Amino acid sequence: MAHRIGRRKNVKKGFQFTLMVVGASGLGRTTFINTLCDADVVPKRESDEPEMAHVEEAIKIKPYTVELDEDGVKISLTVVDTPGFGDMIDNEYCFQEILGYLERQYDDILSEESRIKRNPRFRDNRVHALLYFITPTGHSLREIDIELMKRLSPRINVIPVVGKADTFTPTELADFKKRVMEDIEHHNIPIYNFPYDPEEDDEETIDENSELRSLLPFALIGCEEEIMVNGRKVRGRQYPWGIVEVDNTQHCDFAKLRFALLSSHLQDLKEITHDYLYENYRTEKLSRSADNLSD
C-alpha cells in the first residue's frame, strides 16, 4: 500500500523511470519501445548495405528519454535499447557489456553519495527494470537466454517477455509459457515475479500480483501503424487471415504489462532497485575495497 500513498505525493512532480530492453534483433524490441511510448522514439533500423551483411556488429547501449502522460501523471521515461545483442557468431562478450553499464550507474550513485557536498541536480540513471525478449522458438529457453537472465538478475529486476507472440496459437503460447517458467525455476533464476505477502497484503493486492505472476512471461506484439477494424482505428497487424490487435488482451499481454510498468508497479520496481539491488552492490563493492586495503 505504501506505493499508493507515495503516488499521491508525487503526482504533481511526476515520476522518473528507467527501463532497459534486451533481446536479439528481429524480436520486435524497437517496435515495442515505440508502441509503449506511442511515438517514434527509436528510429527504424537503417537497412545495411548487402555487401556488409556478413560483418558482425557488436552490442551498443542507447538510452532514449520520453515524457509521458499517464492519466494526468507525468512520467519521465528513459528507455535503454541494446541493439546488437545476440547478433554475432560468438556472443560471450554481450553479457559483460550490459552488466558493465548497469554497474557504472550504481558506481555513479555510490560516489555521489560519498561526496561531502552533493549535487542537487544529480541525475539518477539507475535502471529499474529489464525486459528480456525471449525468442519464440516454441521449445524452451536457449542457452543465451538462461545465461543472460542469470548474470543480470543480481543487479536488476529481470522481467522475461516473449516477443512476436503472434507466432503462437493459444495452446502453443500456454505450453511455451509453462516451459519457460519451468526452465527459470530449474536454473534458479531470480526474476521479478510481482512479489506479495499472503499475510500482510490486502486481497486486492494479492489478486493483482498473482494475476500478473501467472502471465509471466508476458506475450507481446508490437505495432506502430493504425488500421481500421469495424469502423474504429486500432493499433494492429493485418494478415491475410485476420487482424491482430495490440491493445486487445485476448491477443496479447501488452496492455497489462504497460499498466504494471508505468502505473501499478513502478514504485515497487524502483524501491527494490534502491533498497535491495543497489544495497547489495554497494556492500559487495565496499567489502571488496576493504579487503584490498587490508591486503
- Give the interface with other proteins as residue ranges (CB under 8 A): 25-27, 45, 47-51, 53-56, 87-92, 135-140, 142-144, 147, 164, 166-167, 169-170, 179, 183, 186, 237-245, 250-251
Instruction: Indicate the residue among 49 and 200 with the shorter CB distance to other proteins.
Output: 49
Instruction: Indicate the residue among 46 and 295 with the shorter CB distance to other proteins.
Output: 46
Instruction: Indicate the residue among 63 and 170 with the shorter CB distance to other proteins.
Output: 170
Task: State in angstroms the smallest separation of the CB of 17 from other proteins.
Answer: 28
- The continuous run of DSSP H or E covering 234 comes out as strand 232-239
Task: State in angstroms the smallest separation of the CB of 90 from other proteins.
Answer: 4
Please state the separation of Cα 58 from the chain's center in Å.
21
Q: Which three cell numbers stand for residue 272?
A: 527494490
How do strand 158-162 and strand 218-219 relate by DSSP bridges?
parallel
Task: State in angstroms the smallest separation of the CB of 82 from other proteins.
Answer: 15
Please state the separation of Cα 252 from the chain's center in Å.
16
Query: Do the Cβ atoms of 23 and 85 come closer than 8 Å?
Result: yes
C-alpha distance from residue 133 to each of 7, 168, 198, 261 (Å): 29, 15, 30, 15
Residues 295, 291: Cα–Cα separation, whole Å: 6
Instruction: Indicate the residue among 109 and 144 with the shorter CB distance to other proteins.
Output: 144
Task: State in angstroms the smallest separation of the CB of 52 from other proteins.
Answer: 9
Instruction: Indicate the residue among 253 and 268 with the shorter CB distance to other proteins.
Output: 253
